[in-house]
Structure 1
Amino acid sequence: MSHQDAVHHAAVPAAQPESAVAAAAVVRRTDPQVRKVAVKDIVEALAAGLRDFQAAPLYGLAFGALYAIGGMLIVWSAFMAGVGYLAYPLAAGFALVGPFVAVGLYEVSRRRETGEPLSWSAVLRTIWAQHHRELGWMAFVTLFVFVVWMYQVRLLIALMLGLRSFTSLHEFLVVLATTPEGWLFLVIGHAIGAALSLVLFSLTVVSFPLLLDRDVDFVTAMITSVRAVATSPVPMIGWAIVVVLLLLVASLPGFLGLVVVLPVLGHATWHLYRRIVLPMA
């Protein structure tokens, strides 16, 4: 081998790490970037969500009614199965799947924002297309957290209230309100529920609209969502509290309030996402 050939072969391995670094830099640049938001952005996103609902109420009412009916069916199934005392934790946990149900609302807001034609066929076609994409995995993550929520409720009941069988929701609520064991169950149960809700909120507040809007994998979407919360912790946790309180109040009258509250929150989530995640370069 000549001296020139030896120099050429020796130089090739040194070039490989440089190209790998360049490729990695390109990958990093394509990751969604987040900006810091303030309380003012939360308020403006909520106002924009209300405007979207007022501009296209039929879409919002339809998705809100679907969500409300789902809540009613879950509670009714609990009573039919003889575990009516689980109606309260089921109703509380059902709020966790709200971001998935709101996917259609994100598409309505997106089309209004871009000026694309708004029709049921277009919205439903977009929703249907998601089962071939990463959004299905996010739905699995959401349902998994819901299942974990219900299992920890059953475990806490067994540990703190014993293996007794409650004949009705009223009997269960009486035990919770009048016994030390019931008070302890409420404190620990709500603390765990708040922790799970915060985790799921951090994973989904940006990820669902991001997956609808861009071609990214669900892990990147969840990481982006967590980064968004970490970048603006006070406004984002404030938004989480607003969402929980509104969903709780809307669920009290037999879930009927969700018909209006869910679409407003869904549209607002889209506008908040647009304020948090920077547009693609």
Structure 2
Amino acid sequence: MTSKTAGSTPPDNLRPPPQAVPQINKVTAGDIAAALKAGLADFRAHPLMSGFFGLFYAVFGILFVWCLVWLGAIWMIIPAAVGFPLVAPFAAAGLYEMSRRRQRGESFGWSAILTVAANQRKREMGWMAFVTLFIFWVWIYQVRLWLAIILKDASFSDFYGFWNTVFFTPQGWTFLAVGTCVGAFLSAVLFSVTVIAMPMLLDRETDFVSAMITSIRVVTENPVVMLSWAAVISAAMLLSLVPAFLGLIFTLPVLGHATWHLYRRAVPPVEG
């Protein structure tokens, strides 16, 4: 007679169903153009609500830079401004929800969108925020490292001294070249793991690791188109910083809405 240990093997009906691997579509330049067009339409449909998220992000950036000046960390202003757009995907949760509801033909108000955006901290997107902020921290730390190695004798008593040292000396040019290469690598890594993962976590009940893997798959299977999208985002966000971060009031909402629509084109919705 064969003995069985109670509880050694859980019944099939108690096992969590395995998650299906998301299908990945081929993404083209036409998809990017269509996503931008849809993103602009979402912004025009709800300019005040969309602009609110852009304004919040811009005000946070202004306060962040002001704190650096107040703390005397002049050297951090430029790298912080350049790296600041790295955390934009997490700030766009409310924009993704607006686009999702518009795509479904659902009506919504301020309370519904703000509640969904606030509740993301309790879900897997909180882990994605940790990943994003960790890479941002690595970006700032490596800038400080190269400052110490390359510009060790420089003195940054004010912003203009830092500007002149970095942009008008041979050591500064070396620092810019090295920092640009390292920054490009970190940005590519962060873009790859978040561009699809962020809207996917809002849209589906999945874990952040699976969402990151799906995001990486979309990028690796559509490298040219997705890296072109990264270039569009980077150029638009950096240009938005020039007028004291205020350009973000427009560009962040449009790019956030567009990212949602690109996600829906890259990853088909779950059937059923």
In structure 2, the residue matched to 1:146 is 136
Structure 2 length as normaliser, TM-score? 0.92
Task: Tell me how far apart the structure 2 counterparts of residues 256 and 127 of structure 1 sit (CA, whole Å).
Answer: 22
CA contact (8 A) 1:75 1:84 kept: no
Alignment of 1:194-209 (within 5 A): 194-209=184-199
Task: Tell me how far apart the structure 2 counterparts of residues 246 and 136 of structure 1 sit (CA, whole Å).
Answer: 26
Residue 182 (structure 2) aligned to one of 183, 192, 197: 192
Secondary structure, aligned partner of 1:27: coil
What letter corresponds to residue 279 of structure 1 in structure 2? P
Measured after TM superposition, the shift of residue 93 of structure 1 is 0.9
Residue 270 (structure 1) aligned to one of 241, 260, 268: 260
Q: Which consecutive unaligned segments of at least 5 residues does structure 2 have? A: 4-8
In structure 2, the residue matched to 1:27 is 18
Identity over the aligned pairs, expressed in percent?
51
- Structure with greater helix percent: 1
What letter corresponds to residue 218 of structure 2 in structure 1? A
In structure 1, the residue matched to 2:82 is 92
Larger CA deviation: 114-123 vs 213-222: 114-123
Q: Which consecutive unaligned segments of at least 5 residues does structure 1 have? A: 10-15
Task: Tell me how far apart the structure 1 counterparts of residues 250 and 234 of structure 2 sit (CA, whole Å).
Answer: 15
RMSD value over aligned CA atoms?
1.7
In structure 2, the residue matched to 1:13 is none
Alignment of 1:215-230 (within 5 A): 215-230=205-220
4+ residue runs over 3 A deviation: none
Is it true that 1:54 corresponds to 2:7 in the alignment?
no
Task: Tell me how far apart the structure 1 counterparts of residues 131 and 167 of structure 2 sit (CA, whole Å).
Answer: 33
Task: Tell me how far apart the structure 1 counterparts of residues 108 and 168 of structure 2 sit (CA, whole Å).
Answer: 53
Measured after TM superposition, the shift of residue 128 of structure 1 is 2.2
Task: Tell me how far apart the structure 1 counterparts of residues 153 and 133 of structure 2 sit (CA, whole Å).
Answer: 27
Measured after TM superposition, the shift of residue 163 of structure 1 is 5.0
CA contact (8 A) 1:211 1:217 kept: yes
Task: Tell me how far apart the structure 1 counterparts of residues 71 and 153 of structure 2 sit (CA, whole Å).
Answer: 17
Question: Could you list the per-position Cα deviations for residues 53-105 of structure 1 after superposition, in whole angstroms to 9, with x for gaps in the alignment?
Answer: 00010111100000101110111111000112321111111110000011000
Alignment of 1:55-94 (within 5 A): 55-94=45-84
In structure 2, the residue matched to 1:257 is 247
What letter corresponds to residue 44 of structure 2 in structure 1? Q
Question: Could you list the per-position Cα deviations for residues 229-259 of structure 1 after superposition, in whole angstroms to 9, with x for gaps in the alignment?
Answer: 0111100000000000000111111001000
Structure 1 length as normaliser, TM-score? 0.89
Question: Could you list the per-position Cα deviations for residues 199-247 of structure 1 after superposition, in whole angstroms to 9, with x for gaps in the alignment?
Answer: 0000000001000000000000000000000111100000000000000
